[in-house]
Amino acid sequence: MTTLTPILTKNWDQPDSYTLAGYEREGGYRALRTALGMEPDAIVQTVKDSGLRGRGGAGFPTGMKWGFLPPSSPNPRYLVVNADESEPGTCKDIPLMMANPHVLVEGVIISAYAIKSNHAFIYVRGEVLHVIRRLQRAVEEAYEAGYLGRDVLGSGYDLELVVHTGAGAYICGEETALLDSLEGYRGQPRLKPPFPAVAGLYGGPTVINNVESISSVPSIVANGADWFASMGTEKSQGFGIFSLSGHVTRPGQYEAPLGITLRELLDMAGGVRAGHRLKFWTPGGSSTPIFTDEHLDVPLDFESVGAAGSMLGTRALQIFDETVCVVRAVLRWSEFYAHESCGKCTPCREGTYWYKQMLKRLEAGQGSEEDLETLLDLSDNILGRSFCALGDGATSPVVSSIKLFRDEYLRHFELGGCPFDPAKSTLWAGA
Ligand SMILES: Cc1cc2nc3c(=O)[nH]c(=O)nc-3n(C[C@H](O)[C@H](O)[C@H](O)COP(=O)(O)O)c2cc1C
Ligand code: SF4
């Protein structure tokens, strides 16, 4: 399997891809007309049958999530799109919204109609002003064209869509922290249950989905569940955007069926930058355990990546060549987690602080093998004991790097410094 499947990325190279005219020229909003002619429950069933699984990291089946909404409730139902995208390495939703905001808007309208919601929100991180402007303009255009507002395309269905900007906190991508932030509170995760499907935004039944999940819905409605399910693997169906970054010849977004391998993607991306070789990589962002060149042929689907000891996550493939010190990379990620920990629970708040302190020392070559055991012990006290998945994610780079690159940590201690520091040595031959 070496072919790309440009669907969400199909018209990114068109100069007006982000405008209503550009989107409609490529068949945009036709799926909405089809959807409005269907019963809402039939759309939910189509999404279930397609096998679409959440593209925000966890891979939960989207149609099943929609089916969890209680059939009746005194409160309004809400659809919330998670466009916070703040994980290091993850960079698919922002370019998608930049190049093709209307596919998300169309996906929101169809999805909100399917779950019988009249209020939808796109929660987007506040730093990406250029994307916010594009989204807001796309929403305005959709209102002007009668795709949003009262009586959408004369169907009798009403939908209000609000683009809400966050203030730039990674934790606000966690779905319940996002809801708190959207309600105007400090973004911290909520205790579950109740799950958002039962009591979410303003206490109402709420569906929260990732940008790419919702953007995949128009193509599923237009082409059918079987079309979508024919791509990918048996349990990880469809296509996804794979983001290649770092030491790769042609970094960028590669939209391909799930189950493609890094080897195949690298072939298309011109390989690791000239004169260098792959040392380690993340399959799905900084919170997924790292892989090495031994994992080049692991199919990038939820099951295979899990069986190989990591997670598919957000398909954020960060490529590091042999010039990179793995201890330094792990230190940088740990600094991020310590900074972004919301402080609500002790294992993550204290654990990420101590990760940062210890790794700074270890990277400077001031440590011993015993410290690695302390780091692993600390990780045991964070993983599975944190209130939300941010804490769990923080352990991934630490534990996986010690497992795969113990020798490189030890070399720092032998040398009394970083082997990648030109003052200490030229590149360490064992790297
Ligand atoms: C710390 C943290 C940050 C997250 N950030 C995002 C994010 O930026 N975008 C996103 O879609 N999901 C993010 N998630 C996952 C969401 O909690 C949730 O699973 C997702 O939005 C569900 O959408 P999906 O089912 O379509 O994947 C994050 C989770 C955690 C723990
Ligand atoms: S795991 Fe970290 S981010 Fe999550 S609630 Fe606890 S302190 Fe906050």
CA of 82 to the centre of ligand 1 (A): 7
- End-to-end alpha carbon distance in the chain: 31
The architecture that CATH gives domain 239-321 is Roll (3.10)
CATH code for the domain defined by 326-415: 1.20.1440.230
The string of pLDDT tens digits covering residues 175-218 is 999 999 999 999 999 999 999 999 999 999 999 999 999 999 99
CA of 56 to the centre of ligand 1 (A): 5
Q: What is the pLDDT of residue 421?
A: 82
**Spatial separation of the C-alpha atoms in residues 106 and 97, rounded to whole Å:** 12
**Spatial separation of the C-alpha atoms in residues 158 and 152, rounded to whole Å:** 6
> pLDDT band at residue 72, thresholds of 50, 70 and 90?
confident
Domain ranges of the chain: 20-229, 239-321, 326-415
- How many helices (H) and strands (E) are present in the chain, helices listed first? 16, 9
Q: What is the pLDDT of residue 428?
A: 53
What residues form DSSP beta bridges with 242? 254
Q: What is the pLDDT of residue 431?
A: 45
pLDDT above 60 (res 430): no
**Average pLDDT value for residue range 2-21:** 94
Q: What is the pTM of this model?
A: 0.97
**How many degrees, rounded to 5, is the angle at CA 234 between CA 113 and CA 291?**
105
Ligand 1: which residues within 6 Å by Cβ?
Answer: 54-58, 60, 82, 84-86, 170-171, 173-175, 208-210, 213, 388-390
The architecture that CATH gives domain 20-229 is 3-Layer(aba) Sandwich (3.40)
